[in-house]
Amino acid sequence: MKWLLLALGSMFVQQTFIALGKVLPAVLAPVILVDLNIDPSWLGIYIGMIAATSLVVQVGCGSIIVRYGALRMSQVTLVLMGIGLALATPGLIPVIALSAIVIGGSAFSTPASSHLLGRYSPPGRAPLVFSIKQTAVPAGLLIAGLLGPYLTDRFDWRDTLLIIGASCVVFAIMLEPLRSEFDSDKDMTRKFRLSDFKGTMTLVLGKPELRGLAFGCFAFVGLQATFTAYFVIYLTHLDYSLKEAGQIFAMATSVAVLGRIFWGWLSSSYVSPRVMLAVLALAMAATVGLTGLFDESWSTLLITLVAGGVSATVFSWHGVLLAEAVRLAPDSMRGAVTGGVLSFGQFGGLTLPLLYSTLLGVTGSYRIGFIVCAVPALVVGLMLMRPMKRGEGR
């Protein structure tokens, strides 16, 4: 129990920092884009570059995690986040693009934490344990929504990125004493091979249950990336200040802290993970679709309630899906399978924000993109509602 609690606590803070770092440029986008005189549609390209890099990292990370250890790679991911945030501060477009690539390299975060928690979690309680760990993501978003605008008001956006980036590096150093236990299963004979990419994808696509999780991950991560990238700037175009928009974003995303735990508890005890994910998919399609209907006549309370509904679905599925992926994976491939499933999510995180930015550039409307990007979640929800044929999950 001691090591489970330490693993859960350390991975919770690790993922909080990673979520905070990833979302911070989007939260500060209204200020950054004006300061650098960049069109808002380019924000989708920045988010897409992070996702593209993350996709490659997560498909091929399994052998690296096994070789060097889950905690070591957690430290690496924190350092990469710190460097990536620092690179964005000069405000030069080529360096900002490099920043996105380095931040994308921090995608070791979730596969590494899943590999570590998979060692210490009781199988029957894994969905709940993973859901508790994954509340780190909304915690990071909550901090970004509140702390980002506050620090930017007191200093500026460059200092804000540097402060958070330095904090990531400091925590990476603080994790070092735990390595002797948490990386005791590392295998220095394990080598990275290009065939790892093919092996991981073959395993994920070859097993129907994992394939369903992968398709769901595509829709869910894509929708989460789109909402995260554009929600704050969307509100500023509805005449909210950056501080007000950040507060609404923070209040809404805080719902996911309880949502992730609640869905994980239900999935551990009463509802199968497949049915749970189907319900969440349909609900997220509905709430994001409603987001696309916002205009100046909507009250702040109503906008916050709808955004809270998005948070309870789009930001709350992770623990259920990740625990199920780990359950279906061979013991030695927990990190690899998690990375393979999540790589489909990164493809969604690349595709849907780019689709949104294209629609924004063509139509000039922030609304239509939310409605269009909700469609894949609707399709996945209907697909997961279909009962699996006998023997299909074997």
Pair of tokens at residue 110:
């979730």
Query: What's the rounded Cα separation, in Å, for the pair 324 and 209?
Result: 9
DSSP 171-196: HHHHTGGGHHHHTTT--TT----THH
Using pLDDT thresholds of 50, 70 and 90, give the confidence band for residue 51: confident
Is the Cα torsion angle 117, 119, 120, 124 positive or negative in sign? positive
Identify the pLDDT of residue 130.
76
Maximum CA extent, the chain: 62
In a domain, 39, yes or no: yes
In a domain, 319, yes or no: yes
CB 20 within 8 A of CB 167: no
Q: Is the pLDDT of residue 365 over 70?
A: yes
Which percentage of the chain shows pLDDT scores above 90?
42
Q: Which residue has the tokens 């974003």?
A: 249
Q: What is the pTM of this model?
A: 0.74
Pair of tokens at residue 348:
């969604």
Identify the pLDDT of residue 318.
80
In a domain, 393, yes or no: no
Closest CA to 356 of 233, 239, 249, 227: 227
Query: What's the rounded Cα separation, in Å, for the pair 18 and 22?
Result: 6
Q: How confident is the model over 146-169, as a mean pLDDT? A: 94
Q: Which residue has the tokens 């097993």?
A: 207
Query: What's the rounded Cα separation, in Å, for the pair 306 and 254?
Result: 13
Q: Which residue has the tokens 């390595």?
A: 179
Q: What are phi and psi of 90, to 5 degrees?
A: -65, -20
> Comparing 75 with 56, which gets the higher pLDDT?
75
Using pLDDT thresholds of 50, 70 and 90, give the confidence band for residue 333: low
The whole domain housing 191 covers 2-385
In a domain, 16, yes or no: yes
Q: Is the pLDDT of residue 67 over 90?
A: no
In a domain, 73, yes or no: yes
In a domain, 192, yes or no: yes
Which CATH number belongs to the domain containing residue 206 in this structure?
Answer: 1.20.1250.20
Q: How many domains does the chain have?
A: 1
Identify the pLDDT of residue 347.
84
Closest CA to 300 of 363, 370, 244: 244
For the chain, the average pLDDT equals 86
Identify the pLDDT of residue 196.
61
CB 294 within 8 A of CB 367: yes
In a domain, 391, yes or no: no
Q: What are phi and psi of 320, to 5 degrees?
A: -65, -50
Condensed to tens digits (0 to 9), the pLDDT of residues 266-318 reads 887 788 888 899 999 999 999 999 999 998 899 999 999 999 999 999 988 88
DSSP SS3 for 246: helix
Based on its alpha-carbon atoms, the radius of gyration of the chain, rounded to whole angstroms, reads: 20
Q: How confident is the model over 205-230, as a mean pLDDT? A: 86
Any idea what the Cα angle at residue 248 is, between residues 132 and 233, rounded to 5°? 110
Q: What are phi and psi of 222, to 5 degrees?
A: -60, -45
In a domain, 68, yes or no: yes
The Cβ of residue 292 has, within 10 Å, a number of other Cβ atoms equal to 17
Using pLDDT thresholds of 50, 70 and 90, give the confidence band for residue 195: low
